[in-house]
Structure 1
C-alpha cells in the first residue's frame, strides 16, 4: 500500500520549466502517480500552461490549485524569486478516493459542484471526510452557505481564497479540466488515514467597538452613524485621516471582528480585514457583514501572530496522538496579510511548524481569506486566520 504526502517546489522563472521540475522531483521520490495534487503558485505563472503541463505528466491524478501571495512555504523554507514561486503537495493513497470539481464565473452552484466532485471521486452517497475549498475573493460566503445547506455541520471544511501580490485581481484557480480568475474549485477527500483540523486567529479583542449602521456590499459605510473610515482611524489612534485607497498592509495588526460565540465562557471571533478606504469614507472589507452587527477592534503583534499561529498545527489529545497515530503531512492555509506583517520573521514560522509537527512535509499558501469550522461547528469565512488539516497514520 502507498500512503504518503510529499512536497516539491520550484522558483524557476518560466512556467513550463517550473512544472517539469516539480514533476521530476515528485517522480524521483515516488515513481507512482499521486492520488491528489495540491498546486500553489504566484501570479507570475501562466495557470493554463501550469495545469496542462502537470496533467500531461500526471494524467491519472486529481488536481486542485490556487494562487498565493508573494510566495509559498514548505518544510524546506519560503520559496519566491523575483515574484516566481510554485509548490505542489502530492498525496499518495491507494486505498482512498478523491474527487475535484471547478466552475468559472460569478454565479456558482455549490450543491452541483459538491455532487460533481463526489461523483468524480467514485463515492456517490458517501459523506467526504474533508472538503478543500478555494474560491476567488467575494464568492466564499455563497459557497459555504451551499455546503452547509447540503451537509449541515457534519463535514469539515478547510479553505483559502485565491490571492495575488498586490490586490489587483491577478489571482487564479485551476482544476483538472479548467482554470479561471473568478470562480471556485473544491476537492472531496476520502483518505485512508485520520485527519486533524484547526481554524485559528492570532488576535485579541480591544475595548473599542461599534454597530454597523450603513452598508453597501462589502463596504461598511458607517459605524454608529459616522463614516466608518473616520471611526476606524480614531480607534487605531491614527493622527492623520485615512486617504482613499488600499490600506491592507497598514491594517493587518488591527483588524475588525464580530463575536460568533462562547467557548468555555470566552468569546471567539470571525475576523474581517479592512482592505481599502473608499471615496465615501467607507471601509471595504474582505468579508461580508450585516447592518446591526457589532464590529470590534482586534490587536496583535508580530510575536503574537507567530505564537498564536502555532495553534493551527497543534494536534489535540482526542486525535489519538497519545496512541499510535503520527502526522505524516499537513496543509496549512495562512493569511496573506499575516504573512506580510511577519516580514523577515516568516523564517521562524518554518522552524516553529517543524518543532510542532516534526520533520514532516507541509505546504502553506498565503490567501486573501480563510475558511473553516468554528468551535461550535459554524462554517465561517474570515480574514487573518490559519486553516489547516494534518494527516495522521499509525
Structure 2
C-alpha cells in the first residue's frame, strides 16, 4: 500500500484536477484505486472530478466540500479562489469501492443503498469491509450511520465528516466518482492490505456542570431540568448566550458545547459533543446532532490551545490503535471540525505542523467539516460536533 497527498489553489476546476493528478502520479508511480477528495465550495464542480477521471484511469472518488480550505502534510491551504486537496491510495492487494444515494427516500435507506453500491464497486458484494469512509450533508448523519450498519453490522468503523460551506448557507456538496452531488450519502468501502488505526476525540473537557434533557425533538432541546433550554444554557455560560435573543449562536457557543458520554475506557469517559447552533423564539436550543429526552448532558469547555493541539494527539492515538510506531505510518486522513477551524483559523499552520509531527514524513489530507463521524471504542460509531476524527495506515 502506498499513499500520496496533493493540493492546488488553482481557480479553474480542470486546472486543479490536472495539478492534483500530475502530483499523485509522480508520487505513487501509477494511478491510485481511490482518491479521497475535499475542496472548498468554489471548486466543487463536475469538471474537477472529470479531470481526475480522465487522468487517473479507473479511479474511485469519495469526499465533499470543506470549510475555508484543506490541510496536507505541506501545510494549511486556502486562497482567494478556493483550495482542493487529495489523498491517493495505490494498493493492488486491496480493494476499494464508492457508492452514493440521495436522501430523498430517507437517510437510513440512503446509507444502506450507498454501502451496497460501494461494495459492488469494490467487487466485494456480501463481504464486510475493514472500514467505511463517509460524507453526507449536515442534518441526518445518525440515520446514515444506522443505514450503513444495517448492511455491514455495527462493528465496522465508520469514519468521515459532513460536507461544509463557507457561511453555513447550505452551499455544501458531496463527491462521488461520477459527479458532484447535493443531498447524498456517499461512502467508500475499504479493504486495505495494510493495518489501520482510528481515533475520534474532541479538544474539550467537562466543566462539572450537568443537566438532564426533559423535553426534546430530534435536534432541538426544549427543556433542560424542566426549564427552558436557552435559559439554562445562558446561566451555564455566565450570560455569554442571551436566552432572550433568538438567532444563530454558533460562534459564541463554540467554546462551550454540550457533551454526552458515549463510552468508558478504563474509567475515563469518552464524550461525543453537540454544538448549539441557534436559540429559538420559544427559548429552545437547536443542535447539529440528534438529542433525546433523558440524555444527561455535560457543559464542556475548551481553549484555543486545546483545539490547536488536539488534532495531532488524535492522530497519535490512531497510530497507537494500529499498533505501530508513528515513524512507520504510511499516511492518513484527518477530519477537523469547521467550527473549531474558524475559532483558531490564525493558528491552522500550527495544527498542520502538529499533525505532521504525529506521523513524520507521512502524507495526509485534512478537511474541515460541519459534523464529524468516527469510532470511539469497539467500533462504537457516532456522529458529533467540534471533534477530530483520524484514520491512519501503517
Q: For the superposition of Structure 1 and Structure 2, which TM-score range results when normalised by the shorter chain?
A: over 0.9
**What residue number does 1:79 align with?**
77
Q: Tell me, which stretches of 5 or more residues in structure 2 are unaligned? A: none
The yes-or-no answer on 1:204 pairing with 2:187 is: no
**What residue number does 1:51 align with?**
49
Deviation string 1:158-216 (CA, Å, 9 cap, x unpaired) is: 11111111111011001113332212100001111111111111111112222222223
Q: 1:1-394 counterparts in 2 under 5 A?
A: 3-82=1-80, 84-106=82-104, 107-108=106-107, 109=109, 110-238=111-239, 241-242=242-243, 243-315=245-317, 317=320, 319-321=322-324, 326-392=328-394
Aligned equivalents of 2:25, 2:200: Cα separation in 1: 33
Answer with 240-249 or 365-374: which moved more. Answer: 240-249
Q: Tell me, which stretches of 5 or more residues in structure 1 are unaligned? A: none
Asked if 1 retains the 8 angstrom alpha-carbon contact of 2:312 and 2:356, the reply is: no
- Coordinate RMSD, CA, aligned: 1.9
Aligned equivalents of 1:325, 1:126: Cα separation in 2: 32
- Offset of 1:239 from its aligned partner? 5.6
Asked if 1 retains the 8 angstrom alpha-carbon contact of 2:2 and 2:28, the reply is: no
Answer with 191-200 or 312-321: which moved more. Answer: 312-321
- Offset of 1:325 from its aligned partner? 8.5
**Structure 2 residue matching 1:314: 3-state secondary structure:** helix
Asked if 2 retains the 8 angstrom alpha-carbon contact of 1:71 and 1:83, the reply is: no
- Offset of 1:26 from its aligned partner? 2.1
The 1:187–1:317 alpha-carbon spacing in structure 2 relative to 1, beyond 3 Å, is closer
- Offset of 1:117 from its aligned partner? 0.9
Deviation string 1:269-320 (CA, Å, 9 cap, x unpaired) is: 1110111222222211100001121221100101122233322111555633
Asked if 1 retains the 8 angstrom alpha-carbon contact of 2:327 and 2:359, the reply is: no
Aligned equivalents of 1:344, 1:79: Cα separation in 2: 12
Deviation string 1:110-139 (CA, Å, 9 cap, x unpaired) is: 222222211110122322111001111112
- State the TM-score, normalized to the length of structure 2: 0.93
Aligned equivalents of 2:27, 2:384: Cα separation in 1: 36
Larger % of helix: which? 2
- State the TM-score, normalized to the length of structure 1: 0.93
- Offset of 1:375 from its aligned partner? 2.0
Number of residue pairs matched by the alignment: 389
